[in-house]
Structure 1
Amino acid sequence: MIIAIVAVLVPLTLAVLSLRVLKEYERGVAFRLGRLREPLGPGVRVLLPGLDKLVRIDLRVVTLTIPPQEVITRDNVPARVNAVVLFRVVDPVRSVMSVENHAVATSQIAQTTLRSVVGRADLDTLLAHRADLNEDLAKSIASMTEPWGVKVEVVEIKDVEIPEAMQRAMAREAEAERERRAKVINARGELQASAQLRDAAKTLSESPASLQLRYLQTLLELGADHNSTVVFPLPIDIIGPFLDAVRGHTTSPAPSQVPPSVNGTSPVTHAQRTHDDHQS
C-alpha cells in the first residue's frame, strides 16, 4: 500500500513542479542544463525539474526615479537635479543574456548621463528649455540600453534646486526686467497719446468754433464737481489784447522823481532865499 501511494504521489509531485504559469505581460527565458532555449510565451509551460531553469521577464513599463545628482552647469552654477525614466523590455533574451540586471544597469546609465548632459548646459537652458534636455537625455540613454533589449520611453527632468543666493539674484533680475517692460510700455503710450493730441490740435485749429465748444465742455465738467474752488480757463485769444496793453504801459518812460518847482524856481533856490531873509 505504501509503495502504491508513493508511486502515485511522486509522479503527481513531479508534474506539479514541472508546470509553470506565465502571465500575459510576462515572458520566460528557459535554460536546460545551462543551454538557452526558445523564449516561452504566456500560459502553462512544462519544465523538467532539476534540468530546466526559468527566468521571468516583465514586459510592462518600469518607472525609475533617478536620485538627486550634484551637477555644475556650464556657467559654473551648482545645482541638484533629479529625473524620471520610463523604460520597458522589448527583447527578453537579450535582457537576460547581455546584462546581469537590466534595471540596475539602466539606473546607473541614467544617472551618469544626467550629470553629463546637464553639465554641458547653462542654467538658463536648464530652467527654460527642459524639453531639449529631456530629448537629449532620452537619446543618450536609449543608445546605450538598446543592446540590452531595453527601450527607453520617456526621460523627464523632475526638479532643479539652485542655491538661495542665485534664486535671489534671479528674482532681482526678473523684477528689473518687468520694470523695464513697464517703462517701455509707458513710453509707447505717451508717444501714441502725443500723436493723437497733435492730430486733435490740428483739427481744432482748423475750426475755432470747435475750440469754443471744447472750452464750454470743460467749464461744464468743472461745474459738475462740488468743490469750493473753481478754475475758469480762459483762451489766450481772449486775454491777449489785455496782456498787450499791460506790456505797453510798463514799457512807457516814467516821470521825473524831482518834485515840481515853486513859483518857477527850483526847491533848492527857494530854500536858500528864505534863509537869507531871516538872517537880515
Structure 2
Amino acid sequence: MFGGIGYLLPFIVIGLFLATNIIKILKEYEKGVIFTLGRVGNKASGPGLIILVPIIQQMRKVDMRTLVHDVPTQDVISQDNVSVKVNAVIYYRVVDSVRAVVQVENYMAATSQLAQTTLRSVLGKHDLDEMLQERDKLNKDIQSILDHQTEAWGIKVSNVEIKHVDVDPSMIRAIARQAEAERERRSKIILAEGEQQAAAKLSEAATILATSPGAMELRYLNSLQDIAGDRTNTIVFPFSMKDVTDHFKK
C-alpha cells in the first residue's frame, strides 16, 4: 500500500505544481498581464479565473486600486534662498496595466522618484510666502506635471497634497519680525487714513458753521453743557471780537 503511494507521489507533486501554475484567480481589483512566449497582448485579463498554458505563458498581477505614496522629506531652496524641508503625499492608480508592466520596470518606484524630483523642482521656483499661502496652486501644478509624465506608463495621478513645510528656527524668528513690521505698517496706514477722514469732516463742519452764525452759538452752548458736568473745570465762554466791539460802541 505504502509502496503504491510512494510510486504515485512524484505524479501528485507534479500535478499540484502544474495546477498552481495553470490556474490563477484574480481579485476584483486586480488585472493580469499575460506573456505568451515573451509577448504580451493589447489587453489584460481578469478579474476571475485565469487558465495559463504551462511554460509557454506567464502572468504579472497589477493592483488597479488607488495607491497612496508618502513622498519622503525633501530639502528645498526657495526662490528667495530660504532652505526648507517639505514632504507630500500623492494619490495615483494604474489605468493601463499593460503599459504599467511593459513601459517601466517598476512603476511604483518610478512614480516615487519622479514625485521627489518634481516636488523639488516646482517648489524651488517659488518664494517661501507662496509655499505657505498658495498650497492649493502648488498642489495642482505638481499634480499636472506628474500626471503628464506618468501618462506614458499607464498611471493616472489624481491628487497631490503638500503636508508639511518646515522652516529653520532662525528663519521663523525672521518671519515673526517681518510679520510684526507688516502689522505696524498697516496700523500707521489706518491711523493716517483716520486722520485724513477726520480732517475732511472737520473741514466740512467748519464750512457749515461759517455760513451759519446761529449754529456756532449752539455749538458753544453744547460745549458749555458738557463742561458744566464737571465742577472742577473752569468755564471760559468765548465771544467773537465783533460782538465785543459792537457792545462798547453802544
| 1:231/1:53 CA distance change after superposition, 3 Å | farther
Q: What is the letter of the counterpart of residue 68 of structure 1?
A: T
Residue 229 (str. 1) matches residue 237 (str. 2): no
| 1:57/1:233 CA distance change after superposition, 3 Å | farther
Q: Which moved more, 1:24-33 or 1:102-111?
A: 24-33
CA deviation string 1:246-272 (max 9, x = no partner): xxxxxxxxxxxxxxxxxxxxxxxxxxx
Q: Which moved more, 1:45-54 or 1:201-210?
A: 45-54
Matches within 5 A, 1:1-280: 18-37=22-41, 38-48=43-53, 51-224=56-229, 227-237=230-240, 241=244
Distance 1:44 1:160 in 2: 48
Return the TM-score normalized by structure 2.
Answer: 0.81
CA deviation string 1:219-264 (max 9, x = no partner): 223334xx4402324123179749xx9xxxxxxxxxxxxxxxxxxx
Q: Which moved more, 1:155-164 or 1:188-197?
A: 155-164
| 1:16/1:141 CA distance change after superposition, 3 Å | closer
| 1:181/1:139 CA distance change after superposition, 3 Å | same
Identify unmatched segments of 5+ residues in structure 1.
246-280
CA deviation string 1:101-156 (max 9, x = no partner): 11111101111222222223332333333344333322332333222111222223
- Greater relative contact order, per chain length (Cα 8 Å cut-off, separation 6+): 2
Deviation at 1:12, TM superposition (A): 8.8
Q: What is the letter of the counterpart of residue 30 of structure 2?
A: E
| 1:174/1:10 CA distance change after superposition, 3 Å | closer
Deviation at 1:205, TM superposition (A): 2.2
Q: Percent same amino acid among aligned pairs? A: 46
CA deviation string 1:3-37 (max 9, x = no partner): 8xx79x88995667643332222211123454435
Distance 2:13 2:115 in 1: 50
| 1:211/1:43 CA distance change after superposition, 3 Å | same
Distance 1:89 1:171 in 2: 45
Distance 2:133 2:87 in 1: 16
| 1:114/1:221 CA distance change after superposition, 3 Å | same
| 1:12/1:223 CA distance change after superposition, 3 Å | farther
Q: CA RMSD in A?
A: 3.0
Question: How many aligned residue pairs are there?
Answer: 239
Distance 1:175 1:240 in 2: 55
